[in-house]
């Protein structure tokens, strides 16, 4: 017998070749996480599956851009395919809409790279594998203030997206609480490819750091224009760029390696980690796909493993008892680590700061849960 669960994300393609061939970037919805989730499923099935040697099947829906389409896909998979759980989506904008669907159906859901804290507001069947933007925003603000010694920031945000607006709000709030000043807080609209007016005002303000919160295709244009202008700090040197976990995307970094050199961003995971679970994941992923996994891959792998461990403890695929065992998770160690879930089903876990050096993502520091 096989049991199904559903991985939903805004993916453009299931082909690995699309990782490198999409140039210029036309959309940020790429294969982040799917192959890592598939790797976890294959590992579980190779080791006897779940419960009475039941094999599990990864059922997917792809090419999803609009939140309404993601909701429809989730409804169809629950009603027509009989899935016992949902993994994903990657985007917070989709996750906040799917949450009420799984709550009504009493189907456990573990989001992957979605980070907005409102993702779990729908109810007690919704969990996150990733840290929240409230934590991530605090990590970035403190890093800019303490580690970089920067006190003046500018922010550019994609308007109308739950994730981009949320992480900017949390960064600004924490940075100003520390004593920093935000001298420019600019927005742009989806689909914009030029940012002359916003970058002009930011340049005039001469910030020490420039936090960019957007989707991959947009950020590619922003950083190119930022360096071409160029945007300088008060000392007359190029402003330091900051980003959040959306920066941990091979297409983005491959498209603008020179422009983001020396930048910093927060992430879920570093492939340089020495933790045993992370090392096993990296080695298996590289052997299977011949490329280094990203943070989105790590949390997608963990979402599968978290679900499988909860099913084993519950000795059941029934939604209520699996939900209870997910809530009871303690000291999970996989690609990333989760100490526990709080009352909002947000994981207590650390973040990493990554930097771009010689065109490569490199580990800079780890920040423990606060």
Distance CA 159, CA 138 (A): 21
Which residues are registered as beta bridge partners of 366? 352
Distance CA 113, CA 88 (A): 7
Instruction: State the pLDDT at residue 18.
Output: 22
Q: Which of 87, 120, 128 is nearest to 348 (CA)?
A: 128
Which residues are registered as beta bridge partners of 367? 351
For residues 300-324, average pLDDT: 95
2: tokens are 């096989």
* Domain ranges in the chain with CATH number 3.40.50.2300: 2-131+273-349, 134-267
**pLDDT tens, 17-65?**
222 222 222 233 345 688 899 999 999 999 998 888 888 888 887 667 7
Q: Which CATH code of 3.10.20.30, 3.30.590.10, 1.10.3720.10, 3.40.50.2300 fits the domain covering 2-131+273-349? A: 3.40.50.2300
**pLDDT tens, 60-115?**
876 677 888 889 988 888 888 888 899 988 889 999 999 999 999 999 999 999 99
Q: Which numeric CATH code is attached to 134-267?
A: 3.40.50.2300
Instruction: State the pLDDT at residue 57.
Output: 83
Residues with Cβ within 8 Å of residue 189, at least 6 apart in sequence: 158, 159, 160
Q: Which of 86-90, 141-145, 257-261 has the lowest mean pLDDT?
A: 86-90
What single-letter DSSP state applies at residue 22?
-
Q: Taking a C-beta distance cutoff of 8 angstroms, is the pair 22, 30 a contact?
A: yes
Instruction: State the pLDDT at residue 26.
Output: 28
State yes or no: pLDDT of 12 exceeds 60.
no
**pLDDT tens, 157-203?**
999 999 999 999 999 999 999 999 999 999 999 989 999 999 999 99
Element (H, E) at 80: helix 67-80
- Whole-model pTM: value is 0.90
**pLDDT tens, 335-354?**
999 999 999 999 999 999 99
Q: Where does the pLDDT of residue 13 fall: very low under 50, low under 70, confident under 90, or very high at 90 and above?
A: very low
Distance CA 96, CA 295 (A): 21
**pLDDT tens, 209-246?**
999 999 888 999 999 999 999 999 999 999 999 999 99
């Amino acid at each position: 017998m096989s049991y199904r669960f559903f991985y939903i994300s805004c993916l453009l393609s299931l082909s690995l070749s699309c990782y490198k061939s999409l140039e210029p970037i036309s959309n940020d919805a790429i294969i982040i996480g799917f192959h890592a989730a598939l790797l976890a499923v294959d590992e579980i099935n190779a080791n006897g599956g779940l419960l009475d040697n039941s094999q599990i099947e990864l059922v997917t829906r792809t090419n999803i851009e609009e939140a309404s389409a993601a909701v429809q896909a989730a409804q169809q998979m629950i009603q027509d395919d009989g899935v016992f759980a949902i993994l994903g989506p990657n985007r917070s904008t989709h996750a906040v809409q799917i949450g009420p669907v799984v709550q009504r159906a009493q189907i456990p859901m573990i989001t992957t790279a979605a980070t907005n804290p409102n993702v779990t507001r729908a109810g007690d069947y919704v969990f996150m594998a990733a840290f929240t933007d409230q934590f991530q925003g605090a990590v970035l603000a403190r890093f800019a203030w303490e580690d970089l010694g920067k006190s003046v920031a500018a922010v550019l945000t994609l308007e109308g997206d739950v994730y981009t607006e949320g992480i900017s709000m949390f960064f600004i709030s924490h940075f100003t609480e520390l004593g920093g000043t935000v001298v420019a807080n600019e927005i742009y609209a989806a689909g914009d490819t030029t940012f002359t007016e916003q970058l002009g005002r930011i340049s005039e303000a001469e910030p020490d750091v420039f936090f960019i919160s957007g989707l991959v295709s947009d950020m590619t244009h922003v950083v190119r224009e930022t360096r071409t202008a160029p945007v300088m700090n008060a000392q007359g040197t190029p402003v330091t760029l900051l980003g959040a976990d959306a920066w941990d995307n091979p297409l983005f970094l491959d498209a603008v390696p020179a422009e983001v050199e020396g930048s910093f961003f927060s992430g879920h995971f570093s492939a340089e980690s020495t933790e045993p679970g992370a090392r096993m994941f990296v080695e298996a992923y590289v052997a299977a796909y011949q490329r280094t996994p990203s943070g989105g891959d790590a949390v997608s792998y963990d979402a599968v493993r978290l679900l499988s461990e909860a099913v084993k403890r519950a000795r059941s695929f029934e939604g209520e008892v699996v939900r209870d065992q997910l809530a009871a998770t303690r000291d999970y160690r996989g690609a990333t680590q989760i100490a526990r879930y709080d009352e909002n089903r947000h994981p207590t876990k650390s973040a990493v700061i990554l930097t771009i050096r010689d065109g490569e993502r490199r580990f800079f520091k780890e920040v423990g849960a606060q």
